[in-house]
Amino acid sequence: MNALPTVQEMAALIRLEAQERYAAMKHSPRLTPKGAEEKMRKLLVEAADHRARPLVPSLLEAHQWEYQSICTDSQVDFNAVAVVQHPAYLLNLFEPGDVIWTGEVHEMGERNFRTREQCLETKAAFPPLTCPSTFKPGIWSRKLENILHKRFLVVESDVIHRDQVGAIFKWLRDENNLHLRVIVDTGGKSLHAWFDYPKELWADLKLVLPALGCDRAMFIPCLPCRMPGVGRNGRFQRLIYQS
C-alpha cells in the first residue's frame, strides 16, 4: 500500500548524502572542529530538503486524515465535552507529581509552575500556553536546564493546511509507531499533535520533520504550546482527538 520510507530510513539516506558531500568538499587546513560541525549541519539540512521534501505530496495523499475524520476517529467526542473541561484531558496525560508550566509566553514565577494535581484542582481559568516537558520542583524558570522530564513531542506545521497535516500525524502513528495521545485545535491555522516522547527516534525526527514542513522550533523541549479550553481570537483552543 505504501512505499514511503520510514523516518529512520529517511534519516539514514539524509546522513549518507551529507557525509558523501562533505567528503567530496575541499576544506581549509584552518577548519576548526566547530567549523566542521557547522558545515555538516548545513549539509544535513540541504540533504533533508533534497531527500524528504519531494515526498510530501505522496505522504499527504497516502495517509489522508482530514480535520473532520480526526474528530470522528477520536475515542472521546469532544463536541460533547464542555470546552472548560478540555484542559483536564491534556493534564491527565502527565504523571502524578509532574511539575507543569502554564502561562503567557514570558511568564515565569511560582504561580506558573504547579504539580499536575494542583493544576487539576484549580477553579480559575487556565492561561493560554503550557509545555510538553516537566520541570524540577522549586524552579521558577522555563529554561532548558530546569527540565526534569521530556514527556511529549508536539508536532505542528504552519505551512501545511489543517485538513492535510493530519496525514503527517497518521504517518508518524501508523508507519513509525509513535504513540499519538491527543490533537489540539490551536484556535488559529494549525493543529498540535501530542506524541509520547520518542527517545530513540528523536534525532531522526528532528532531521526529517522540518523538511516535511513541520515546525523545527517544536523540538525545543521548553517551548510553549497551546493549552486547550482557552479562548483565542473569538475561537477556542480545544481538543479534537484522543486515542
Cα–Cα nearest to 65, from 197, 196, 155, 199: 155
Cell numbers standing for residue 10: 529517511
Give the per-residue pLDDT at 76: 98
Task: Output the pLDDT for position 160.
Answer: 97
pLDDT for residue 123: 84
Contacts of 16 (CB under 8 A, 6+ apart): none
Distances (CA, A) of 137 to 97, 102, 110, 116: 9, 15, 10, 12
Block means of pLDDT (10 residues each) for the chain, 243 residues, are 84 97 92 94 97 96 97 98 97 98 93 96 92 96 96 97 97 98 96 98 98 97 96 93 98
Q: Which of 193, 186, 169 is nearest to 226 (CA)?
A: 186
Q: What is the pLDDT of residue 3?
A: 74
Amino acid 124: pLDDT: 85
pLDDT of residue 2: 52
The CA distance from 52 to 157, in Å, is 15
Cβ neighbourhood burial of 204 (10 Å; 0-12, 13-18, 19+): buried
